[in-house]
Chain A
């Protein structure tokens, strides 16, 4: 008991190193989580941006929060894919027959999702800076942005974990990603919700991504965040708790 516990963080970091290799060796993953969001940012700023009225003079500033969330949402299918394969190919069985903590393998995947998203979001911010993104936010606001992004990542990652652990096929495992991909598109990520027709607007204004986008936007432009930040946090923490509970249950049942 004691030995497996005291090695927990060491084991988890070995697991992290392993699946980070999976991320870096998959061109597909890199394209979907980093290059595609950047391409979208270029498209919206240089092709469509002229026609979009957001009430801000700098459209990159308006766009960046949504693009970061899209990058994170795009990565989620890969997390469930990697989890599914480990389950399917007996890799988890191999780990679980060894004297290492049972949850180290699962947490390794969760940590990989966090770390790989930190990297892709950092690259996206760098590109945005080159495209003219400017922020007057202080250190504390940036810290808050990082925290919210991390919570958003964790929330989606635990949803992905449920899918990856309970799926019967690869298709089933990655299907979880599709509805999640849509959330940023039907939000205030690209245009203010006020410009949308009634029902779409009602959906957009009451789904988690809009409150998260608005909060990050306010933080980065030094505006007061108001109530929006609490709505955003409630969404993220609520999803994390529920999804974590179910993911844990599926995991314990399957292993």
Chain B
């Protein structure tokens, strides 16, 4: 019982097939409240399928799935009250401005001070200059930031981010990482999926690797590192690169 209270997400024996395609074949994991959990997996491994089941968008075939204490199959409304989702592909309304997008979500969450909430998020996400432009004119990074900002309207305690940095340039990626770290430090539970080990390393307290329908390893980064072969020192003959050759020649000439 005590354990349940500390669990934001609990998944036991989760199975899901699309007709003949058995995507999830018995997935188990737990996410502690206030932690950042990274689900790592390659293309088509079923990350989005798990996110959709956890956020009540998709029905699973069997297994127990509990989010914030609500069973996703029996109490989907309870789940929806307590989570927010940023899907794999930025779901912003392109015809509306950034500000209008945020106000729209605030109204749908029945907040009284929708404008104020929108203004605050615009400032926090560095969208002040673009706030009154249509979202269709935004760059990929800005669109993602708006997308995440929309998910934070209403202060959910559990946030799902499905591949939040895929397709972003390095600079935009670091911005998203900063946002996730801020969320984590304010005590929000973050469930994110990624294809990059580096991203999981940067952000997550807990990492789980999904492969062929099951979680093949999970744990903290330190625990995972123990599973890998220990680091050893190797000597490798290194060929000079063209650049090094070029610099060597140019450098010699300048000395003369």
Contact = CB atoms under 8 A, between A and B. Distances in A.
A14 interface: yes
B93 A18 contact: yes
Interface in A84-122: 89-91, 93-100
Interface in B208-248: none
The residue among A89, A94, A96 with the most chain B CB atoms within 10 A of its own CB is A94
Given A21-B100, A97-B56, A14 B89 contact: no
A94 B85 contact: yes
The residue among B55, B81, B108 with the most chain A CB atoms within 10 A of its own CB is B108
A96 B77 contact: no
Contact of B96 (A14, A21, A94): A21
A9 to B, nearest CB: 12
A89 B108 contact: no
B57 A98 contact: no
Given A18-B93, A25-B95, A97 B85 contact: yes
8 contacts: A10-B110, A90-B89, A91-B91, A94-B87, A97-B80, A97-B84, A98-B108, A255-B57
Q: How large is the interface on A (under 10, 10 to 19, 20 to 34, 35 or more residues)?
A: 20 to 34
Q: How large is the interface on B (under 10, 10 to 19, 20 to 34, 35 or more residues)?
A: 20 to 34
Contact of B95 (A11, A21, A97): A21
Contacts of A96: 56-57
B118 interface: no
Given A1-B77, A96-B57, A98-B80, A90 B87 contact: yes
Given A4-B77, A90-B87, A95 B108 contact: yes
Nearest to A105: B108
B231 to A, nearest CB: 42
Interface of A: 1, 3-4, 7, 10-11, 14, 18, 21-22, 25-26, 89-91, 93-100, 255
Interface string B72-110: 000001001101110111110111100010001101111
Given A1-B77, A93-B85, A98-B80, A14 B91 contact: no
A160 to B, nearest CB: 18
B91 A94 contact: yes
- Give the interface SS of chain A, mostly helix, strand, loop or mixed: helix
Contacts of A89: 89, 91, 94
A11 B81 CA distance: 15
B57 A11 contact: no
A17 to B, nearest CB: 8
A100 B94 CA distance: 21
A98 B109 contact: yes
A96 B90 CA distance: 15
A89 B107 CA distance: 20
A25 to B, nearest CB: 6
B110 A94 contact: no
Given A1-B77, A97-B85, A99-B81, A18 B104 contact: yes
A203 to B, nearest CB: 39
Contacts of B57: 93, 96-97, 255
B100 A97 contact: no
Contact of B80 (A10, A21, A26, A99): A99
